[in-house]
Structures are given as C-alpha cells and as structure tokens.
Amino acid sequence: MLETEIAVIGAGPAGLSAAIEAAQAGAKVLLIDENAKPGGQLFKQIHKFFGSKAHRAGVRGIDIGRQLLQETRESGVKVWLNCVVWGLFEDKVLGIVHEGKSDSIKAKKIILATGASENAVSFPGWTLPGVMGAGAAQTMINIHRVLPGKRILMLGSGNVGLIVSYQLLQAGAEVAAVVEAAPKIGGYGVHASKIRRAGVPIITSHTIKEVIGESQVEAAVIAAVNKEWSLIPGTEKTLEVDTVCIAAGLTPLAELAWMAGCECMYLPELGGYVPIHNEKMESTIRGVYVAGDLAGVEEASCAMEEGRLAGLSVAEELGYLEEHEVKRRREEVVERLKALRIGPFGEQRDKAKQKLVQAWQKKLGQG
Amino acid sequence: MRVLNHPILGKLERKKIVTITVDGKALQAFEGEPIIAALLANGIRICRKTRKRGEPRFLFCGIGRCTDCVMIVDGIPNVRTCVTPVREGMKIETQIGSGKWSTSDAGN
C-alpha cells in the first residue's frame, strides 16, 4: 500500500486548484485522474468566462486550464493520470487501478473533486446514433476537432445548450434550432443573442417528441408543451437533422462520496444528491473533503474557488498553514464565491449551498 | 468531418497519420486521438449492436462514463472508444451484444 499526505481525486478545475493550494503550502499532494490528460472539462471551454477580474473573467477556459497545469507543475504536485479510483474505504484508503495495475493508497486527507456527468432525456429514438450529450459534442469539436454531425438540433437552452450551439457553428456545423421546454430561455441573454444573431431560432415551450431514423438520426419531431409539460397534439413539426444534442443539466458524480459514507442531501438547484459539507468543504466524514461540481453543479469559476477552499483547509489541518493566514485567505475566496453566486440562478445556488452547511453543522456541530 | 480551420483554435495541427482497420476495412486516423474521433472523421456512426434487439449504439457522453460506445479492440470487447487512443495497426470491430474475446488478438 502506498502512502501520501493528501490525495486529490479528479484533475478538473476544482481538483487542480485544491492540489495547487495545498502543495504551495508545503503539503505532499497526489493528484489522480482517470483520463490520459488533466484539466477535466476545462479544455473544451473555448469561450471567455464571466465574473470579475479576480475570477479571470474574459479569459477562455482553455487558457485557464493551461495556467492551472503550469501552477500544478511548479508547485510540485505529483500527478497520476490513467488512474481509476474504484473505491474509498475506512481509514481513507483508496482502491486504484493505475495504468492497468491494481494498488491501494492510504492518505491522511482526501479531496474528492470528481465532477458531474450530463443528464439524459429519454424520448422515442433517444438511443439512435447521432443523439448525444451537448458536452460530448463539445468534446468532439473543441478537443478532438471532429464534427459529430452536419445539422444539429439542440435540446435545452441553459448556458451549456447555448454555448455549445455557438461553438458548433464556430466548428462549421449547422444548428437547425434550440428547443426549450420552459417558456423562457434558461441561459444568459448574451449567449442567446449570439446564436440568434447567427440565425438559429430558439423555440421555447417546445420539446422533442421523437427522433426518427433507421440506423441513425434522420429527423427530429418537435412539439409544443403546455403548462403541465405535456405535448400538445397537432403542434408537431419535423426538422431534418442528423444529430440531436441534449443539454439538460448535470448530476454530481457522488459515487465515491456515497461509498465513503458521506451524507448527501437532495438539492435540485445543485443538480441532485450532493455531499453535505461545511464552509471548509469537509464532508460528514472527517478528513474527506469535496469541491467543484460534486459539491453542487455550478460553473468552473466556482469549482476553482471551492478547490482552493478545500486545499487551504487540508493544508491547515496538516499544520502547513497558520490559522490567521488561512482565515484571511479563506475570507478572500468566500468573497469571490459570493460574487459568483449573484443573480436569480446564483442566489438559488447560494441558498442551496447554505442548506448544506447548515445540515453539516446540525450533524457535527460548529467544529 | 474534421474541423480543419477554427476561428478560436486556429488550424488543425499536423499529427502522425496511422492506419487502423474497422470491421476489416483499412482507415486513416491520427495517432493518439480517441477511436470514436477517428470513426467520426471517417463518417462511421455505429459502435455496437445491443444484445436483445440488435439496435445500433454510438457516441453518447464522450467522456468514458456511459459505455454506449464500446467496441472490440484488438480482440478485447467492451473497450470505451471515446477514451481509448488510436495506435498504428489497431483492429477495431463493431461489437454485437456483450462481445466475444478473441484470445489470439488479445495476445493471451
């Protein structure tokens, strides 16, 4: 069995930030990711981020990713790629498969930053080749530089649906329409305007009735929905498309947290079951921390800040940082997080996050 | 359908071209790209057929979670093609149902 001070699982924005923060304080950090490359989903985000200067707004996700990787190298974080963590046991022992070989790691502190996965929407034909997650299409065009299809229908007008639609246009695909079951567009107006200017209609109060095709997508039938979300007969319209992208939100990847015994809470605003944690990002299992989409689906900017919080906390717990130093830096991060959780959606997320902290305090007290 | 020119990412950088076979047919691919990207670049849109109904399946999540895109690769079934990099001479087959091991190809 291998040993490390801190094991961070997941090398996306949250995990990288956590690892950097803890390693800069002097802790020995092992950062593990199942993929061949670090960065999580940052490198497919080729758009500029929102927020203030402190959040690196105006910088593209891909550039933030490069910067984080450089800081990871400079701070002396040990990175293991192609390493799957398949179990988290008592006494903070991780079961892993690293480059095809089984092993186990014992860590003093564990930070889970496993991210989230895309939600599916099932309609007749949803399993046909050509129906895929919007994030999958984004991965294909922006990372692997191949088009998933020529003419695309996007389901869902949240920020992911809007941004990926625009990026599909940038990659040279045609976007037939964006359909949205709600009566209003879900994402930011600035993203919606961009695709509308490019001639893509955003059809609200509509959903996909079925996708037609023999061996792959040949067309999609959309229809209007009423207030009860039921299809209104007679409103069907057939769109000739070869690809349907689903942008219906994300669900935290909480398997390891469940396995470790972390108590979770169901909060739809944060994507589903989320591990209860305190303001230091510690779960209900002492020494196991959570950060990023696993701790509630938000944006990459939030994930990086939460990663920093978790990294600071474990470094403090291990005695690498003085209490007053941590307090000051934690306050800075909390301020930045507050600024990221404004607006109608941000406030909902903020309230849900507070519920998690309250639940933690109820269970484990102030300490 | 490769994205050769991109307004943000620029021109597609040159990568080493390798030859793979998909169901016996030789195809060109970029070394190191995921198998699924090579399939898309060659206009292929099937990875497997389901066990009971023989329905086609292809790319769905693109990040190795959903296992919809598994194929038989060098004799090993259930290989996730969205996270498995292409190598020269790779033998890829459409998987039927749970797939079959081919020990001679797997080198066992």
Q: Is residue A59 part of a domain?
A: yes
Structural domains of chain B, with CATH: 5-95 (3.10.20.440)
Where is the domain boundary, A218, A246, A274?
A: A246
Lowest mean pLDDT among A176-180, B9-13, B16-20: B9-13
Residues A238 and A282 in one domain: no
Bridge partners of B29? B18
Give yes or no for a contact between A286 and A260, defined as CB atoms under 8 angstroms apart: no
Tell whether pTM > 0.90: yes
For residues A164, A333, A309 and A323, what is the CA-based torsion angle, rounded to 10 degrees?
170
Q: Is residue A179 part of a domain?
A: yes
What domain range is A242 assigned to?
135-246
Chain A nearest-CA distance from B82, in A, is 9
A215 → closest Cβ in B3, B7, B56: B56
- DSSP three-state, residue A51: coil
- Among A66, A68, A60, smallest CA distance to A170 is for A60
Residues A235 and A272 in one domain: no
Q: What is the pLDDT, as a whole number, of residue A55? A: 63
Cβ-Cβ pairs closer than 8 A, A with B, add up to 94
**Contacts of A273 by beta carbon, 8 Å cutoff, 6+ apart:** A252, A254, A258, A264, A265, A266
Q: What is the pLDDT, as a whole number, of residue B1? A: 87
Residues A75 and A20 in one domain: yes
A118 → closest Cβ in B61, B82, B83: B61
C-alpha to C-alpha distance for A338 and A320, rounded to whole angstroms: 27
How many CB atoms within 10 Å of residue A318?
17
CATH number, domain with residue A162: 3.50.50.60
Q: Is residue A128 part of a domain?
A: no
Q: A129 to each of A6, A124, A132, A133, B55, how far by Cα in Å? A: 42, 13, 8, 12, 10
Q: Is A216 in contact with B64 (Cβ distance < 8 A)? A: no
| Low-confidence spans in chain A with pLDDT less than 50 | none
Interface of B with A (CB under 8 A): 1-4, 6-9, 12, 33-34, 36-37, 40-41, 45-47, 55-66, 68, 82-83, 85
Residues A255 and A350 in one domain: yes
Residues A113 and A255 in one domain: yes
Q: Is A135 in contact with B61 (Cβ distance < 8 A)? A: yes
Q: What is the pLDDT, as a whole number, of residue B107? A: 47
Q: What is the pLDDT, as a whole number, of residue B108? A: 42
Q: What is the pLDDT, as a whole number, of residue B30? A: 97
- DSSP three-state, residue A276: coil
Q: Is A129 in contact with B1 (Cβ distance < 8 A)? A: no
Give yes or no for a contact between B41 and B52, defined as CB atoms under 8 angstroms apart: no
Q: What is the pLDDT, as a whole number, of residue A273? A: 97
Q: Is residue A122 part of a domain?
A: no
B45 → closest Cβ in A137, A145, A216: A216
Residues A141 and A63 in one domain: no
Would strands B95-96 and B48-49 be described as parallel, antiparallel, or unpaired?
Answer: parallel
Bridge partners of A251? A117
Q: What is the pLDDT, as a whole number, of residue A48? A: 84
**Contacts of A221 by beta carbon, 8 Å cutoff, 6+ apart:** A208, A209, A210, A211, A212, A236, A237, A238, A239
Residues A113 and A191 in one domain: no
Q: Is residue A150 part of a domain?
A: yes
Where is the domain boundary, A246, A267, A301?
A: A246
Where is the domain boundary, A246, A266, A299?
A: A246
Q: Is residue A324 part of a domain?
A: yes
The per-residue pLDDT for range B43-58, each reduced to its tens digit, is 999 999 999 999 999 9
Q: Which two tokens stand for residue A337?
A: 């997080």
Residues A194 and A237 in one domain: yes
Domain count, chain A: 2
**φ and ψ at A99, to 5 degrees?**
45, 45
Query: Which one has a higher pLDDT value, B81 or B100?
Result: B81
**Quick one: closest CA in B to A213, which residue?**
B56
Residues A261 and A167 in one domain: no
Q: Is residue A281 part of a domain?
A: yes
Residue A37 near chain B (CB below 8 Å): no
Residues A211 and A265 in one domain: no
Residue A170 near chain B (CB below 8 Å): yes
Q: Is B56 in contact with A144 (Cβ distance < 8 A)? A: no
Residues A110 and A9 in one domain: yes
Let me know if A268 is exposed, middle or buried by CB neighbors in 10 A (0-12, 13-18, 19+): exposed
C-alpha to C-alpha distance for B32 and A292, rounded to whole angstroms: 29
Residues A6 and A94 in one domain: yes
Q: Is residue A123 part of a domain?
A: no
Is it the case that residue B66 has pLDDT exceeding 90? yes
Q: What is the pLDDT, as a whole number, of residue A366? A: 62
Q: What is the pLDDT, as a whole number, of residue A59? A: 87
Q: What is the pLDDT, as a whole number, of residue B14? A: 86
